[in-house]
Amino acid sequence: MSAAREGIDACSWFRVYDIIEAVHRYLARQQDAILVEGTPRASVFEREINTYFVQTGIGWQLVNGEIVTRGNEVFEGTVKTAVTVLKEDAKPTAAEHLQFAISALSARPKADTSGAVTHATSAVECVLGEITGQAMTLGKYLDSTSVHPALKKGLDGIYGYASDEGARHGKEGTEPAREEAEFAVAVCAAVCTLLTRKHPK
């Protein structure tokens, strides 16, 4: 046990998360490993790890056996709501883009902020494609609909930011800051929810 502890202590921080994921996979495979009240060990392990992360201020969480970034409650709620709404409205590709955006923010040891923004904006464009029946950017959609000018300006700004930072067009040597990428993902998730609820199948 001491040798294992020493090995873990010597790991880079992101390797510790690899170990946590491996432990969860091991516990999940133990079909007969049931704890009190019939709760599987993997579920108990996930709950206890997440409690520890929250108590110590660690910005990660174990979700379905994968360590992913943990934002504030507003960010988490916005993205989760969007994914749920998209799946319920039979828009799985858009939902997957938002989930890929979270995975990109959760990349270790360095977040893929460009990938996060790219997937988030792609989620919006997927929703627009379903609504209009054609490939359409958010800007073109806003120009063709009666959206309040202030809201239109704000949404246009997200796309302008994504393009300027190279997230959507692969601009060399440019990468969004993490805080800005999280904001862009949250806004795109909120837009997906808004559009889907306004134009349900």
Name which of 144, 157, 167 is nearest 191 in CA terms.
157
Judgement on whether residues 31 and 121 belong to the same structural domain of the protein? no
- Which residue matches tokens 């390797």? 15
Judgement on whether residues 11 and 78 belong to the same structural domain of the protein? no
Name the domain boundary from 69, 90, 124. Answer: 69
Out of 127-141, 156-170, 183-197, which region has the weakest mean confidence (pLDDT)? 156-170
For 72-85, the pLDDT digits (tens) are 677 888 888 999 99
**Bridge partner residues of 69 (DSSP):** 60
Does 169 score more than 80 pLDDT? no
Name the domain boundary from 24, 45, 69. Answer: 69
Name which of 186, 176, 175 is nearest 123 in CA terms.
186
What average pLDDT does the segment 148-157 reach? Answer: 74
Does 179 score more than 60 pLDDT? yes
Please say whether the beta carbons of 176 and 167 come within 8 A.
yes
**What's the total number of domains in the chain?**
2
Q: For residue 111, what is the DSSP state?
A: -
Which has more confidence, 170 or 32?
32
pLDDT the model gives residue 17: 85
For 23-59, the pLDDT digits (tens) are 998 888 876 666 556 677 888 899 899 898 888 877 7
Q: For residue 63, what is the DSSP state?
A: E
Distances (CA, A) of 146 to 141, 150, 151, 201: 10, 12, 11, 20
Range of the domain at 127: 73-198
Please say whether the beta carbons of 50 and 28 come within 8 A.
no
* CA gap 52, 68 in Å, rounded: 15
Residue type, 162: A
Mean pLDDT of all residues belonging to the chain: 81
* CA gap 145, 168 in Å, rounded: 23
Does 170 score more than 60 pLDDT? no
Distance of CA 133 to the CA centre of its chain: 26
Judgement on whether residues 123 and 35 belong to the same structural domain of the protein? no
Phi first, then psi, for residue 34 (nearest 5°) are: -110, 140
What average pLDDT does the segment 119-135 reach? Answer: 86
Out of 25-29, 151-155, 162-166, which region has the weakest mean confidence (pLDDT)? 162-166
pLDDT the model gives residue 89: 94
Structure-token pair, residue 7? 């090995």
Residue type, 175: E
Sheet strands (E) in the chain? 60-63, 66-69
pTM: 0.69
Name the domain boundary from 46, 69, 92. Answer: 69
First-to-last alpha carbon distance for the chain, in angstroms, is 56
What average pLDDT does the segment 54-74 reach? Answer: 80
Judgement on whether residues 83 and 180 belong to the same structural domain of the protein? yes
Judgement on whether residues 157 and 95 belong to the same structural domain of the protein? yes
pLDDT the model gives residue 153: 76
Which has more confidence, 185 or 149?
185
